[in-house]
Structure 1
Amino acid sequence: MSAAAIHTEDIHPSLWRASQLAGGGERTVDTGYPVLSTELPGGGWPVGVLVDLLVQQAGVGEMRLLRPALSALTARPVALLQPPHIPDGLGLAYIGLSLDRLLQIKTAGSADAFWSAEQILRAGSCDALILWAQHAKASSLRRLHLAAQSSGTLFVMVRPLTAAQDSSPAVLRLALRPAADGLMVEIVKRRGPTRAEPLSISLQPTPVLFSHHARLPRRLPAEVVSRSLPAQVVV
């Protein structure tokens, strides 16, 4: 084979040219938004790695953005770790997330939250894990990214927009800003070329998803006490 005929994927599936999106080698879940999926390596949210969603404030639309992917993952529970407020049963049911599938986890602080996230990822018992965090050390991010690699879990951290200037092992980092009919999504980091122009994502209006006064059915999402997470996470 001549040097001119050698392709990066022939050397290793994890290699890609800087001018092209990474070709594959990892499992993805379709985002449900074609304008976004076409800009992501593999055509969707990467599974088994750390994904960063950087927001001006929690609740800006991250759950609605993830809704199609979460609805498509139906085999195992979806864990919400340190959500900004109480999950609203009617609102989540409206976007197709039954409370029977949700595992809500509240911890006393960030150290316990990161510990809980690592145990969930290593147990591999959830289809998706969404962790809201204000501050995260680089060492904590590396541990979580490493744990995610053996999990087969869609792992998303929702962090402040100011964290965009910090380094992160996340393979995908998106900055989310509210827009009139949804979100403006800026690709901060991906396995491929940079994109200067943000994407406009239209989101369907929904009832409140998180609230200080959420409406919940009698059967509440299971809550896990930090430092006592079982090896198999169930609801």
Structure 2
Amino acid sequence: MINCSDSTSAAPESLHPSLWRASQLARSSSRCVDTGHAALSAQLPGGGWPAGALVDLLLQQPGIGEMRLLRPALAEVAARRIVLLQPPHPPQALALAALGVPPSQLIWLRTSRMADALWAAEQVLRSGSCGALLFWPGFERQSQVRGDSLRRLHLAAQGGETLFFMMRPLASRQDASPAPLRLALRPQAGGLEIDFVKRRGPQRDAPLFLPLSSHLVQTQPQRHAPVDRPVPAPAAARGLQPQLVH
């Protein structure tokens, strides 16, 4: 039994790691990867992107700067494979190299059915062999991901340390989600406006403006011919299991 007089002065996390004061950011129970943006990291529990958890990035539309936002974290985990699932456009090798992700470390997956995309995401997360999974459901066919599917993916993510970002339409912010971190992203001149829809800590009403460089690729002297072609054709989702599941 916990003595009430003692618990009032004790740090909540000393009683249970899932507890925190409403006025404070929670401590992360899993490893975090630095966002590479000091102003954003200061607003996140654990000081970075949580590994082994669903992170909901709610976009006004694809291509507003989400890849520039994730660039430092992707470069940090690029020693393992990076999976792009249902991206809205074919990945470009030059842009990936500018992100710090060698094209050889990339797996690009496309499916014709949402059920196959969800299956592929779960296999990637359960395999534990990838550094990051970026998943864009719902933009092409305006199909929503059901709550039970989100919970299943979040549970699969918790079994490993893969960075797991779901890029979903901004309208999805009204839907319930098991994600411990949900950010709404809108383009602004010179960067992104970030609303903290959900985080383990105090509510932040004012959005955060995060300046981002205008281009992924910095101008450098050319030592080799430019690589502006897409990476090799996407793999079929149902062909994943022999590669990723051990």
What TM-score results when the alignment is normalised by the length of structure 2?
A: 0.87
Runs of 4+ displaced beyond 6 Å: none
Instruction: Specify the code of the residue in structure 1 equivalent to 2:145.
Output: A
Pair 1:229 & 2:240 matched:
yes
Q: Residues 184-233 of structure 1: CA distance to partner in whole angstroms, max 9, x if unpaired?
A: 0111000011100111111112258xxxxx9327xx34733122322443
What TM-score results when the alignment is normalised by the length of structure 1?
A: 0.91
Alignment gaps of 5+ in structure 1 = 209-213
Instruction: Determine the structure 2 residue equivalent to 1:216.
Output: 229
Indicate which of 183, 194, 199 corresponds to 2:203: 194
Q: Distance in 2 between matches of 1:223 and 1:129?
A: 15
Aligned 8 A contact 1:123 1:231 in 2: no
Aligned 8 A contact 1:88 1:215 in 2: yes
Q: Distance in 2 between matches of 1:222 and 1:140?
A: 27
Q: Distance in 1 between matches of 2:243 and 2:128?
A: 8
Of stretches 89-98 and 111-120 in structure 1, the one that deviates more from structure 2 is: 89-98
Q: Distance in 2 between matches of 1:137 and 1:4?
A: 40
Instruction: Determine the structure 1 residue equivalent to 2:221.
Output: none
SS in 2 for 1:127: strand
Instruction: Determine the structure 2 residue equivalent to 1:174.
Output: 183
Aligned 8 A contact 2:108 2:235 in 1: yes
**Percentage of matched positions with identical amino acids:** 55
- C-alpha RMSD of matched pairs (Å): 1.8
Q: Residues 57-83 of structure 1: CA distance to partner in whole angstroms, max 9, x if unpaired?
A: 111111110000001113211000000
Pair 1:155 & 2:164 matched:
yes
Aligned length: 227
SS in 1 for 2:214: coil
Instruction: Determine the structure 2 residue equivalent to 1:93.
Output: 97
Indicate which of 53, 59, 75 corresponds to 1:55: 59
Instruction: Specify the code of the residue in structure 2 equivalent to 1:11.
Output: L
Q: Residues 18-44 of structure 1: CA distance to partner in whole angstroms, max 9, x if unpaired?
A: 221102321100001011000000000
Indicate which of 41, 48, 72 corresponds to 2:76: 72
How much has 1:17 moved relative to structure 2? 1.5
Instruction: Determine the structure 1 residue equivalent to 2:26.
Output: 22
Instruction: Determine the structure 1 residue equivalent to 2:222.
Output: none
Q: Residues 62-120 of structure 1: CA distance to partner in whole angstroms, max 9, x if unpaired?
A: 11100000011132110000000111111222232221111100011211101000000
Alignment gaps of 5+ in structure 2 = 139-143, 218-226
Instruction: Determine the structure 2 residue equivalent to 1:145.
Output: 154
Aligned 8 A contact 1:103 1:222 in 2: no
Instruction: Specify the code of the residue in structure 2 equivalent to 1:226.
Output: A
SS in 2 for 1:227: helix
How much has 1:154 moved relative to structure 2? 0.2
Instruction: Determine the structure 2 residue equivalent to 1:211.
Output: none
Indicate which of 87, 109, 116 corresponds to 2:113: 109
Change in Cα spacing, 1:222 to 1:126, as seen in structure 2 (3 Å) is farther
Q: Distance in 2 between matches of 1:40 and 1:48?
A: 15
